[in-house]
Amino acid sequence: MYKGGYTGKILRVNLTDQTAKEEQLPVDTARDFIGGAGFGIKYLYDEVPAGTDPLGPDNKLIFAPGPFSGTTIPCASRMAVTGKSPLTGAVGMALTGGYFPVELKFAGYDALIIEGKAKNPTYLWIKNGEVKFRSAKKVWGMKTTDTQQIIKNELNDQNVRIACIGPAGENLCKIACIINEMRAAGRKGLGAVMGSKNLKAIAIRGKGKVPIADKEKLKAAREGMTKAMKESHVLYPNFSKKGTPMVVDATCAMGIFPTKNFSATGEYAPADKIGVDVQMGRNVGREHCYGCPVGCSQLKLAKTAPYKGILTEGPEYETFFSFGGETGVDNIDAIIAADRLADELGLDTISAGVTIGFAMELYEKGILSKEDTGGLELNFGNDQAMITLLRLMAFREGIGDLLADGTKAAAQKIGNGSEKYAVHVKGLELPAYDVRGAKAHGLNYATSYTGADHNRGYAFQEIFGIPIPYGVDRLAVGGKGKLTKWNQDVRSATCDAPTMCAFLLDMAVAEIATQNTASLMEAVTGLKLSAEEVQKVGERINNLARAFNVREGFTRADDTLPERLMMEPLKEGASKGQFISKDDLNKMLNEYYTERGWDLNTGAPTRGKLVELGLEYVAKDIHS
């Protein structure tokens, strides 16, 4: 039995009949899945049948922090939001930080499950065990900052924590995200799922505390973790002051910062225009998530017209790629403005920017005409066209309606050879690493249960040269299946489930990751897991997510990469000549499936592997 970490309660809210009920968190669920993404995927698999319409009332949204959230463990105010993705049709899971995750715990819940659909625009008001359904009519159509402030005013409490959608979610844009403060559960279109339920926002206030099983053990375990953080050569000397955007310089130097829809990587490397030296000139402060001593989120202020005076929390590295390198825009103030606008509209910055870059390449190749674009000149580097497109996409106006569901859907509608320029995996647009020069990173894109998602199995060994669990050659193919499995399982178990900021894994605690989680779990919850059992939790999560996708019809054929990355070698830069051929990808997949115990032909988890992981009922589903 768990003795702490968990509140022991799941809150289930049905929007259709406006009911709410509390359920007990099963001990087996806590032990086998820990929390966060583990809980989300467990409830998604068990409760959302195959073939469910992602934008229908039978899809569910699961908000789940982990047992570490709300404790004194640093960097643990994280939360997974899970549902069936309208963008991919696969598992949709996004993580977010800030203060909302711990407030959910303080309000008394280990997870919040949203089901059904409200008749009219609604927001939830959850306060210490009481749930109210309130009209969102006055904030429907509003941007995210205004929505949050008006709800706080209405509730007469400025300390309420709110997760909401913007116009993009309301208009069911399949690249819409969920915003809390200025943090985003950013990918896979979960904002559209929230919009499809007529749910504008969730407001939460709690005054409870998270129980601790053994405070002395927690103190000792936390000291081990903070020691590793202090000894990191990156975390405090650089990362806390510069944040993720400092990676622009590193990836440009490696020749893997993607530019102009992945067509000019290595040739166009704008570190001198949007790299860390220029970024620092826009920094005006930084923000911390609850209980975080690092404070990596940088506040940036635009200094030049027409964007002068626009303030944003970010942009993060991925957004410097999506609104910078990807679109050929090297005006840092335009990138700041685009980041703020996307957050206000509730658009995922990665998918939005990649979709705009895709449209720009089509325009330059003559596949899209000026008539198609409504008069917009969509040349690479046109920052004002980029800003205009964001608004059009969120409101589904003009060409924005065509692009609002991402590159895969747009290419299917445009035709005329446009599919070869759509840079996505399983419908999810590629993030900010050209994996032609980082092969394990590429294999993770191909096999991640959410599509092209760097965060599911980030290959920090290739990107930062960290030799844990062993050193690798980023350009080599051999051994990358084994490494990718390790990255995916360890990240799931030590970051996505407990929940904890993944930057700590990348920069500080990789060497002690599973034992660190095991020690913290015992101290906080009383559940005794070995380091090996912690890693097994990650394996269980990835196998259950894979089983969900198999049940939805995904096969080995979907574990692929965009044609450009497999057919076009990089032309310039430190990774010149590199690409991932179909043969190389197949070699890595074979190794990966073998390491995972999955069928080499279908990519499905074998019955034996599922039984080994305690997922016998899943084996019956997909091996009937």
- pLDDT in the model for residue 505: 82
Check whether the bond before 315 is cis (ω within 30° of 0): yes
Check whether the bond before 431 is cis (ω within 30° of 0): no
CATH 2.70.70.10 for domain 435-561+581-622, yes or no, is no
Contact 360, 354 (CB under 8 A): no
Confidence of residue 580 (pLDDT cuts 50, 70, 90): very high
Please, what sign has the CA dihedral across residues 469, 470, 471, 476? negative
- pLDDT in the model for residue 240: 86
Strand, coil or helix: 619: helix
CB atoms within 10 A of CB 564: 19
- pLDDT in the model for residue 406: 98
- Average pLDDT for residues 460-488, to the nearest whole number? 97
Contact 544, 565 (CB under 8 A): no
For the cut 80, the answer to whether the pLDDT of residue 98 exceeds it is yes
Strand partners, 313: 299
Strands (E), 214-259: none
Rounded CA separation 287/299 (Å): 7
140-180 pLDDT, tens digit per residue, is 999 999 999 999 999 999 999 999 999 999 999 999 999 99
Contact 168, 140 (CB under 8 A): no
- Average pLDDT for residues 437-463, to the nearest whole number? 97
- Average pLDDT for residues 55-81, to the nearest whole number? 97
Instruction: Tell which residue, 270, 273, 259, has the closest CA to residue 326.
Output: 259
Rounded CA separation 595/592 (Å): 5
318-368 pLDDT, tens digit per residue, is 999 999 999 999 999 999 999 999 999 999 999 999 999 999 999 999 999
- pLDDT in the model for residue 121: 98
**CATH topology classification for 9-205:** Aldehyde Ferredoxin Oxidoreductase;  A, domain 1 (3.60.9)
- pLDDT in the model for residue 250: 95
286-325 pLDDT, tens digit per residue, is 888 988 888 888 899 999 999 999 999 999 999 999 999 9
- pLDDT in the model for residue 507: 85
Q: H or E element: which one contains 402? A: helix 399-403
Contact 248, 276 (CB under 8 A): yes
Residue 375 Cα distances to 260, 357, 367, 368, 398, angstroms: 21, 17, 15, 11, 10
Instruction: Tell which residue, 601, 609, 611, 606, has the closest CA to residue 622.
Output: 606
Q: H or E element: which one contains 30? A: helix 27-33
Could you tell me whether strands 9-14 and 111-115 are parallel, antiparallel, or unpaired per DSSP bridges? parallel
For the cut 90, the answer to whether the pLDDT of residue 241 exceeds it is no
Q: H or E element: which one contains 593? A: helix 582-596
Contact 508, 583 (CB under 8 A): no
Tokens of 389: 């497109």
Give Cα 622 to chain centroid, integer Å. Answer: 27
497-548 pLDDT, tens digit per residue, is 999 999 888 888 999 999 999 999 999 999 999 999 999 999 999 999 999 9
Q: H or E element: which one contains 10? A: strand 9-14
- Average pLDDT for residues 578-586, to the nearest whole number? 98
Distant-in-sequence, close-in-space partners of 451: CB < 8 Å, separation ≥ 6: 85, 87, 88, 90, 188, 424, 425, 426, 427, 428, 445
* Residue 247 one-letter amino acid: V
Q: Where are the domains of the chain?
A: 9-205, 243-423, 435-561+581-622
406-418 pLDDT, tens digit per residue, is 999 999 999 999 9
Confidence of residue 243 (pLDDT cuts 50, 70, 90): confident
Residue 301's Cβ-count burial label (10 Å; 0-12, 13-18, 19+) is: middle
- pLDDT in the model for residue 294: 87
Mean pLDDT over the full length of the chain: 97
Strand partners, 81: 63, 94
Instruction: Tell which residue, 258, 172, 247, has the closest CA to residue 452.
Output: 258
Q: What is the pTM of this model?
A: 0.97
Distant-in-sequence, close-in-space partners of 365: CB < 8 Å, separation ≥ 6: 421
Tokens of 313: 């929390």
For the cut 80, the answer to whether the pLDDT of residue 132 exceeds it is yes
- pLDDT in the model for residue 234: 87
Rounded CA separation 442/480 (Å): 10
- Domain range 243-423, CATH architecture: Orthogonal Bundle (1.10)
Tokens of 204: 């939460």
Tokens of 223: 């000291």
- pLDDT in the model for residue 587: 98
Instruction: Tell which residue, 372, 291, 253, has the closest CA to residue 102.
Output: 291
Rounded CA separation 260/242 (Å): 25
Q: H or E element: which one contains 96? A: strand 91-96
Q: How far apart are the first and last CA of the chain?
A: 33
Angle (CA) 30 188 68, round 5°: 30
Contact 576, 590 (CB under 8 A): no
Strand partners, 300: 283, 312
What single DSSP character describes residue 215? H
29-55 pLDDT, tens digit per residue, is 999 999 999 999 999 999 999 999 999
- pLDDT in the model for residue 156: 97
Q: What percent of the chain lies above the pLDDT cut of 90?
A: 93
Instruction: Tell which residue, 37, 39, 35, 47, has the closest CA to residue 71.
Output: 35
For the cut 90, the answer to whether the pLDDT of residue 381 exceeds it is yes
Rounded CA separation 438/258 (Å): 12
- Average pLDDT for residues 591-620, to the nearest whole number? 97
Instruction: Give start and end residues of each alpha helix (H) in 329-382.
Output: 332-345, 349-364
Place of tokens 């129980």: 211
Instruction: Tell which residue, 87, 86, 69, 89, has the closest CA to residue 78.
Output: 69
Contact 393, 404 (CB under 8 A): yes
Instruction: Tell which residue, 408, 454, 455, 451, has the closest CA to residue 426.
Output: 451
Confidence of residue 235 (pLDDT cuts 50, 70, 90): confident
CB atoms within 10 A of CB 140: 18
